[in-house]
Chains A and B, each alone.
Chain A
């Protein structure tokens, strides 16, 4: 399929994040290790005005207008603002490499796109007429807006691409970036995802399908993957970015290398539009392929950042897929579900969890799953509940993402060196 694959190592040289746990990757990681939750009550008038059934979410901790230029804020939907913040941080963290713009690309992702812009423009149209619909509406609401914001800022001219595959989106963007690098389309790619959908419409819509936790009186304890009392996911927002490059390019410029991305895979259930296939065969195939395409054995895997959103059905379905892939080896794998702390960033989820997986390998510390008071007896996994040291040696870890539409995306990483 990709004949160059075996020859070209891909490495992570920069990370950036703007999340409910922090305004950058370091704060986000440290707060994750400290067991903090990013969920809190939404302090906006619309909650009471619309009598929303869910009144909390995992929200970013700083207003982007305190970070970005005023004109950037004005011309970008929040989903693009978050992307720009995380993308810039990742590129700076990679040492702001001098790279031919024709060899620099972006693989970004969002689940929903510019929903604030879309709905606000509709309100303007309804209330004030077509003349009051702002000319920037289309570029602000389009789902490729965040990718374009990151790419234009960095003058990336080797392609600015967007994946939209619901909650699998930004793992898929990372998988695509690996493939694009291996195919020789670029030397450096900023890969990631962003979402800014803490908005009454997605809140009402996800609540209508009974997907959200309704633990309104206790937001920080609401996202509880694998716990017997889990009752749905917590809507989150934010962005995360990784700078990926060929090992050759990274070594030539003396870059710090966090970890290697050994492979990735995308499969599809074609089973149900929202429910995961309970057998998990396609999800299992994505994991197996991601690991094997990267030249690793299933038994090399020591850590998994699970998709585990804290829904009753989803956590079990992923567990079934894990059993299918790893069999007896599963008991040796340290599993974590970081959505307990971050909430569910939808199109940004895969990217922030990939970042956590990279940091787990780089620091040899698995971050905890919070709020796991009573593990579901049907889910027999070694779930990490406080930061756990990983052993020395060459270690493999994977990050799983699954999305509405039956999308399965998995990225596999190896410690470096």
Chain B
């Protein structure tokens, strides 16, 4: 099922907020998970695992390292769900 960038961003922002407490409105496409949002590797993996279930996609571990920004993750999920 095709998902829009907006849908994925807002869904992903909820998952990030749920895991870290970071306010959803600060979670924008250009934010780096590590440098801007200070998300550690365990939280990142938790978000990835939850995103797989929420968006019904697969995000292999070797691809997670390439998801530097929120935008990277949103684009990846939009593509994978397409």
Seen from chain A, the residues whose Cβ lies within 8 Å of a Cβ on chain B are 69-71, 74, 131-132, 134-136, 139
Contact = CB atoms under 8 A, between A and B. Distances in A.
B46 A70 contact: no
Nearest to A128: B53
A125 to B, nearest CB: 12
B19 interface: yes
A236 to B, nearest CB: 31
Contact of B42 (A71, A131, A135): A135
16 contacts: A69-B21, A71-B20, A71-B21, A74-B19, A131-B52, A132-B49, A132-B53, A134-B46, A134-B49, A135-B42, A135-B45, A135-B46, A135-B49, A136-B42, A136-B46, A139-B42
A135 B53 CA distance: 15
Nearest to A124: B49
A131 B49 contact: yes
Nearest to B46: A135
A136 B45 CA distance: 9
B14 to A, nearest CB: 13
B7 interface: no
B18 interface: yes
Nearest to B50: A134
A77 to B, nearest CB: 15
A135 B48 CA distance: 10
The DSSP consensus for interface residues of chain A is: helix
Nearest to A72: B21
Nearest to B42: A135
Q: Find the residue from A74, A131, A135, A139 having the highest chain B CB count within 10 A.
A: A135
Contacts of B53: 132
Contacts of A139: 42
Question: Secondary structure of the B side of the interface?
Answer: helix
Given A70-B21, A134-B46, A139-B42, 15 more contacts: A69-B21, A71-B19, A71-B20, A71-B21, A74-B19, A131-B49, A131-B52, A132-B49, A132-B53, A134-B49, A135-B43, A135-B45, A135-B46, A135-B49, A136-B46
Interface in B16-40: 18-21
A139 B46 CA distance: 13
Contacts of B49: 131-132, 134-135
Contacts of B43: 135
Contacts of A136: 42, 46
Nearest to B40: A135
Contacts of A134: 46, 49
Nearest to B20: A71
A331 to B, nearest CB: 58
Contacts of A132: 49, 53
B37 to A, nearest CB: 13
Contacts of B42: 135-136, 139
Nearest to B45: A135
Contacts of A71: 19-21
A70 B22 CA distance: 11
Nearest to B59: A131
B63 to A, nearest CB: 14
Contacts of A131: 49, 52
3 A-B pairs with least C-beta separation: A135-B45, A71-B21, A135-B42
B21 to A, nearest CB: 4
A63 B23 CA distance: 24
A132 B49 CA distance: 6
Nearest to A71: B21
Nearest to B22: A71
A271 B20 CA distance: 49
Nearest to A74: B19
B9 to A, nearest CB: 21
A74 B46 CA distance: 11
B49 to A, nearest CB: 6
B45 to A, nearest CB: 4
A382 B49 CA distance: 59
A131 B53 CA distance: 10
A321 B75 CA distance: 70
A356 B21 CA distance: 37
Contacts of B19: 71, 74
Interface in B41-75: 42-43, 45-46, 49, 52-53
A97 B46 CA distance: 36
